[in-house]
């Protein structure tokens, strides 16, 4: 079985909605890293010229390859990444090898499988 790692950097307020959308699209779990920092093309300056950087959550999804694009699109749609600048980004990476995913493979296929 082949896997993809989906990484999403999202506004904290959108985390729960994006997790729900990903699960509805076929994600079987996720890891959330709180308080990541992101910067866009242009730095945002606030009062007295001090830089303002919004806190983000980093969401990680290990997904079976054939489900990954559907999950990525659901994340993007829920977060309005293409419509609203600065709401977040998401991308997927090939996973060469994975351990500790035996239960996930069994739940996806209904039987034990090899990676």
CATH code where residue 34 lies: 3.30.70.120
30-63 pLDDT per residue, tens: 999 998 876 666 666 555 555 556 778 999 999 9
- Is 87 inside any structural domain? yes
Query: Cβ(59)–Cβ(18) under 8 Å?
Result: yes
pTM of the model: 0.79
Identify which of 3, 24, 21 has the alpha carbon closest to the alpha carbon of residue 88.
21
Q: Domain range holding 73? A: 3-40+51-109
64-77 pLDDT per residue, tens: 999 999 999 999 99
- Is 55 inside any structural domain? yes
Which alpha helices (H) appear in 1-115, and where do they start and end?
Answer: 15-24, 65-79, 102-109
């Amino acid at each position: 079985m082949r896997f993809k790692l989906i990484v999403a950097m999202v506004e904290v307020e959108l985390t729960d909605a994006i997790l729900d959308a990903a699960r509805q699209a076929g994600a079987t779990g996720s890891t959330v890293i709180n308080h990541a920092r992101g910067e866009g093309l242009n730095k945002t300056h606030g009062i007295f010229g001090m830089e303002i950087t919004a806190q983000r959550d980093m969401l990680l999804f290990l997904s079976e390859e054939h489900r990954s694009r559907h999950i990525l699109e659901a994340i993007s749609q829920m977060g309005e990444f293409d419509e609203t600048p600065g709401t977040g980004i998401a991308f997927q990476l090939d996973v060469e090898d994975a351990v500790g995913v035996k239960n996930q493979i069994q739940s996806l296929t209904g039987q034990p499988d090899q990676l």
